[in-house]
């Protein structure tokens, strides 16, 4: 098996790296948090002192970072991946970033004889833990084929969607659909609650019909129970929609529903709720309506 360097052990990266260790891969891990590195070392990984160190000891280097500037710094900056990466190695960036940044980083890698695949993911922390993420890739077919067996240990579906940058375009499309779905779910449940219905009963009534979705099944129970512990944070979704709107502007595409969803996310970030789960979009709608979407029996007990 290939020696893998894994950089970025956050909410998503840590369970993803763990699944690679469980699958028998040899990992060298790097993160700003020494505690997270220690957790992976306890699982059987080795610690790297820097991104450069991780890359120098690896055939495949995976990065899982918050945003494009973080990826640029990690891969292109001092002490970064390209300072240590050997010609013939491959960088797989699994962060959700601008397609333009993915293409920039890919070009810099190519200039050093290092292959590059952008491979953002969808599914949140639960699917990262289960190893059932949806992984959307951009890159050359031969590079995709090379890393496919590794990606399959972290995802249930792994799809090559086009050239470098295509993975992140696909991820932005995914994030648009998720955000608009959560917002619509929030409006529907607020309306039902205002009408005097138990939102849990409404959820159970509609989830088997055309309105049913993975988003509804994952997020409605969180809203109804008032549990906004992050599986995917509002501030990260706000970042993704910012990237989507910037890409849309460059391509002269109007995204009115995305723009409205971004207004809600930005308002929540400004209200100090950026670290809540993106299902907390409903709180913006609740506040305007003056009602809370909660299970009736729980409300009575309170």
Residue range 135-153, pLDDT digits in tens: 999 999 999 999 999 999 9
Q: Any idea which residue has 């100090």 for tokens? A: 272
Closest CA to 292 of 183, 179, 182, 189: 189
Regions of the chain where pLDDT drops below 50: 298-302
Contact in structure between 73 and 63 (CB atoms under 8 Å): no
Residue range 7-57, pLDDT digits in tens: 999 999 999 999 999 999 999 999 999 999 999 999 999 999 999 999 999
- Give the list of residues 6+ apart from residue 18 with CB closer than 8 angstroms, or none: 40, 43
At 233, phi and psi to the nearest 5?
-75, 150
Residue range 173-186, pLDDT digits in tens: 999 999 999 999 99
- Active-site residue, selected from the candidate residues 14, 104, 127, 171: 171
- pLDDT in the model for residue 297: 60
> Which domains does the chain carry?
3-164 (3.40.50.720), 169-301 (1.10.1040.10)
Which three-class secondary structure state does DSSP give residue 18? helix
Q: What is the 3-state secondary structure (H, E, C) of 136-147?
A: EEECCHHHHHHH
Say whether 171 is catalytic: yes
């Amino acid at each position: 098996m290939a020696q893998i360097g894994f950089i970025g052990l956050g909410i998503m990266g840590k369970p993803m790296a763990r699944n690679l260790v469980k699958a028998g891969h040899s990992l060298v891990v790097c993160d700003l948090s020494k505690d997270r590195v220690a957790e992976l070392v306890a699982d059987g990984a080795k610690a790297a002192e820097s991104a450069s160190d991780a890359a120098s000891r690896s055939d495949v280097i995976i990065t899982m970072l918050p945003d494009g500037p973080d990826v640029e710094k990690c891969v292109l900056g001092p002490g970064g991946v390209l300072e240590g990466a050997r010609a013939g190695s491959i960088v797989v960036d699994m962060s959700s970033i601008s397609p333009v940044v993915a293409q920039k980083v890919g070009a810099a890698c190519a200039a050093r004889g290092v292959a590059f695949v952008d491979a953002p993911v969808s599914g949140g922390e639960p699917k990262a833990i289960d190893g059932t993420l949806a992984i959307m890739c951009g890159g050359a077919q031969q590079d995709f084929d090379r890393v496919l067996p590794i990606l399959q240990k972290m995802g249930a579906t792994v799809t090559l969607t086009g050239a470098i940058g295509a993975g992140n375009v696909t991820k932005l499309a995914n994030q648009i659909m998720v955000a608009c779905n959560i917002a619509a779910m929030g409006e529907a449940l607020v309306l039902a609650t205002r009408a005097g219905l138990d939102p849990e009963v409404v959820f159970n009534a509609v989830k088997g019909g055309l309105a049913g979705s993975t988003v509804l099944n994952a997020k409605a129970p969180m809203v109804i129970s008032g549990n906004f512990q992050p599986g995917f944070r509002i501030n990260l979704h706000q970042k993704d929609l910012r990237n989507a709107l910037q890409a849309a502007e460059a391509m002269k595409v109007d995204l009115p529903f995305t723009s409205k969803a971004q207004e809600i996310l930005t308002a929540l970030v400004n209200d100090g709720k950026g670290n809540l789960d993106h299902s907390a979009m409903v709180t913006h709608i609740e506040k305007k309506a003056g009602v809370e979407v909660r299970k009736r029996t729980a409300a009575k007990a309170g």
